[in-house]
Chains A and B, each alone.
Chain A
Amino acid sequence: MDHVIEMLNIRKEFPGIVANDNITVQVKQGEIHALLGENGAGKSTLMNVLFGLYQPEQGEIRVKGEKVNITNPNIANDYGIGMVHQHFMLVEPFTVTQNIILGSEPTTKSGKINIKKAEREIQELSDRYGLKVDPTAKISDISVGMQQRVEILKTLYRGAEVLIFDEPTAVLTPQEINELIEIMRSLIKEGKSIILITHKLKEIMEVCDRCTVIRKGKGIGTVNIKDTTTNELASLMVGREVSFHTEKKKAVPGQTILEIENLLVKDARKVDLVKGLNLEVKAGEIVGIAGVDGNGQSELIEAITGLRKANSGSIKLNNKAITNLNPRKVTESGLGHIPQDRHKYGLVLDYPVAENMVLQTYYKKPYSKATVLNFKEVYDKAESLIKEYDVRTPSASTLARALSGGNQQKAIIGREVDRSPDLLIAAQPTRGLDVGAIEFIHKKLIEERDKGKAILLVSFELDEIMDVSDRIAVMFDGKIVANVTPENTNEQQLGLLMAGSQLSEAGVHNDSE
């Protein structure tokens, strides 16, 4: 038998929903097997079943042909199954080492954790697979990419033979994605098998051997990557044709909406993060900010939106200074904000969807009068947004927490776009979403642009930047280092600029000058 893992006819229900309905997946020894499906199709659920976090209602699991009963992650570990979760399972105040050894700690004779030994072992593993980490750093201090490497090390440390990656690239920068692909290849070389969940068809085409497609909880089938195309995969997944290139007319920029001059932002430790940045966004154009995570993008957005103090410089919206105004004032000056972290900022997860839909407007008529809320208006609004933005939720009174990530994002976008702000900031608006949802969101952004709104798009996905933006501002080390148009550049050049090369070196001409 060359199947390391077989999941046969798996069924898993949650109250009110069948997340997995008779799904079969068979993974061959030494392959990278993709799992593809829309948001909420049931991919994570299926993998959690394999990892012992959920018990299936029906179906069986075989490891190397032998029928097994995986009732908890320990047993999964024993069978050599390791999982890198979609939402990282890392204890933030702990160090890298502490996280990796957690649950199988080496000890000295006196029962003390043998931290030295652990660090040595981790160093060895990390050298062997090219997983660069700092074993003594705290999780809260390291980049997302390194956090992911820690997750991978966690599985390797436990001797995993089959690794499950649940959307590993959703949170990574292009460079980090390339590194990850290298890592996966070296894992395969060492005889491991990998199950990869991703929405990025390009990645599947690049690294995977086979792909199992799931649609709305049901298994659609398994295809050989060699024998298929992205278009075929996409239509298998959503059940219709999907276009990848977003159609759009040429932009007609109008007056300047957002004007940033010499913006300086420091963090709590007084380190400069945004260092004298200048930026302009005009009505009717989409400006994409390209850059590697950690070059001040988040701080820039937080400063514009009033969530963080600007130390000097000026920010003007519609010719009105909004520097260091509180978020409410900024919003009222005509700003919409799709935040990068939807769980932290975008939603009150314990509020019903409806109440989340008025998070920015609850205090205004008609949603409230003289501080008294009008629930009828709130729910009417919510229902119409849910319909218009295709938010899949049992009802408007369902808690936002219960929605899948993609639908949460659609709810936020609906809320922000619907207010029709003059400037819309979209930070990573499609992170973790399936192609159908991405297409929808891109269409919405362009629609807004065509209505004459200014859009500032921040994304680590070069595809997205190239595809949607009318103008690209490359951000590096707290400054805009280049202004280019998608027509006059390519991913290669952008990548170089993002890494800090000069324009001339990158061979691009600067459009704004």
Chain B
Amino acid sequence: MIDILQSLIPTVLFFSAPLIFTALGGVFSERSGVVNIGLEGLMVMGAFVGIVFNLTFADVFGSWTPWVSIIVATFIGAIFSIIHAVASVSFRANQVVSGVAINMLALGIGVYLTKQWYGKGQTDMVSEPFFRTDIPILADIPIIGPIFFQGIYVTSYIAIIFAFIAWYVLYRTPFGLRLRAVGEHPMAADTNGINVYRMRYIAVILSGALGGLGGSVFALTIVSNFSHSTIVGQGFMALAAVIFGKWHPLGAMGAALFFGLAQSLSVVSGGIPVLQDVPQVFLLIAPYVLTILALAGFIGRAEAPRANGEPYIKGSR
């Protein structure tokens, strides 16, 4: 059992971390009332920037490169998401449309520039990705240590810490109260003197930052290079986590961890005798079927923030 956990938990953590970051971004954006189908594109942008920066500056920053890379990717992700903010907040674009465009645009730009800069469709492998580490002290705790604190990525724990920070920000600070108010009833917020547009801009930019972070963490922990197939569907899984988690930061984190667990189980169970004879296809679809069952069984109805997806037009009723 402990053996299984020991091989399960670390994979769950590294698989989930990028989803957690990105889903948190989705939570911010959607809590403020801006639907963000563009998470996939934000991740693509993050992965692209993370890898390119890493390749270019590995010599300069040495072992700090991956850290600087994800910070830069976060930053560029934030800037990139301004497009979504401008379109859906200021220009009253249909937010789903704008999100879909973000997805196409990010992939287009990423691969176009890759070809432009590297003369080929995919970059080389980075020399400074993230590596697993043991967390000092904690790793030595018996049983718990090996399961949770040995051979893990620091980024995984950062993701979990971020989820708690996001929860605190959203549910305990004035900023969070305002942000949620804007997503529930923008006109009420407006009459209370809250600048609805500014809040939504901030929320979308936060989602860009976190999406960029998620994408770069994915690229630098799992893939090591960038191509058109680096991010395929992770952003949509993150979106699913946002909804699965009922637009709550901790819920989204839980959902992302659940996806990671289901994925890992489908691989690990191949090695478990009882499950060995189960046809491969059932293991392959298991994570997705489990998610549906979980939703149908005990998660059930999730109410989106009331004003999610509605452009706020001052003075309309």
CB-contacts of B158-180 with A (<8 A): 172-174, 177-178, 180
Q: Assess whether B194 is in contact with A53, with CB atoms less than 8 Å apart.
A: no
Can you list, as one digit per residue, whether each of A84-99 has a CB less than 8 Å from chain B (1) or not (0)?
A: 0101111111100011
How extensive is the interface on chain A, given as a class? 20 to 34
Q: Assess whether B185 is in contact with A90, with CB atoms less than 8 Å apart.
A: yes
Bound together, the chains give a CA A103 to CA B181 distance in angstroms of: 10
A103 nearest in chain B by CB position: B192
Q: Assess whether B184 is in contact with A94, with CB atoms less than 8 Å apart.
A: yes
Interface of B, helix, strand, loop or mixed by DSSP? helix
Can you list, as one digit per residue, whether each of A471-486 has a CB less than 8 Å from chain B (1) or not (0)?
A: 0000000000000000
Contacts of A280 in B (CB 8 A): none
Nearest Cβ distance between residue A153 and chain B, in whole angstroms? 12
CB-contacts of B6-29 with A (<8 A): none
Contacts of B317 in A (CB 8 A): 87
A48 at the interface (CB under 8 A from B): yes
Contacts of A493 in B (CB 8 A): none
Nearest Cβ distance between residue A149 and chain B, in whole angstroms? 16
Bound together, the chains give a CA A460 to CA B153 distance in angstroms of: 64
A74 nearest in chain B by CB position: B193
> Which one, B172, B192, B306, contacts A102 given CB within 8 A?
B192
Contacts of B187 in A (CB 8 A): 89
B310 at the interface (CB under 8 A from A): no
Interface of A, helix, strand, loop or mixed by DSSP? loop
Bound together, the chains give a CA A91 to CA B32 distance in angstroms of: 13
B297 at the interface (CB under 8 A from A): no
Bound together, the chains give a CA A80 to CA B185 distance in angstroms of: 23
A53 nearest in chain B by CB position: B315
B183 nearest in chain A by CB position: A91
> Which one, A48, A74, A88, A154, contacts B315 given CB within 8 A?
A48
Can you list, as one digit per residue, whether each of A107-122 has a CB less than 8 Å from chain B (1) or not (0)?
A: 1000111000000000
Bound together, the chains give a CA A147 to CA B185 distance in angstroms of: 15
Bound together, the chains give a CA A168 to CA B185 distance in angstroms of: 20
B190 at the interface (CB under 8 A from A): yes
Bound together, the chains give a CA A112 to CA B171 distance in angstroms of: 9
A77 at the interface (CB under 8 A from B): yes
Q: Assess whether B192 is in contact with A154, with CB atoms less than 8 Å apart.
A: yes
Can you list, as one digit per residue, whether each of B295-317 has a CB less than 8 Å from chain A (1) or not (0)?
A: 00000000000100000001101
B116 at the interface (CB under 8 A from A): no
Q: Assess whether A53 is in contact with B177, with CB atoms less than 8 Å apart.
A: no
Nearest Cβ distance between residue A113 and chain B, in whole angstroms? 6
Bound together, the chains give a CA A72 to CA B197 distance in angstroms of: 13
Q: Assess whether A92 is in contact with B191, with CB atoms less than 8 Å apart.
A: no
B289 at the interface (CB under 8 A from A): no
Bound together, the chains give a CA A461 to CA B152 distance in angstroms of: 68
Q: Assess whether A113 is in contact with B185, with CB atoms less than 8 Å apart.
A: no
A79 at the interface (CB under 8 A from B): no
> A residues within 8 Å of B by Cβ?
48, 51, 53-54, 72-74, 77, 83, 85, 87-94, 98-99, 101-105, 107, 111-113, 154
> B residues within 8 Å of A by Cβ?
172-174, 177-178, 180-181, 184-185, 187-194, 306, 314-315, 317
Can you name 18 A-B pairs with beta carbons within 8 Å? A48-B315, A72-B190, A73-B193, A83-B191, A89-B188, A90-B188, A91-B180, A91-B185, A91-B189, A94-B181, A94-B184, A102-B192, A103-B178, A103-B189, A103-B193, A107-B174, A112-B173, A154-B192
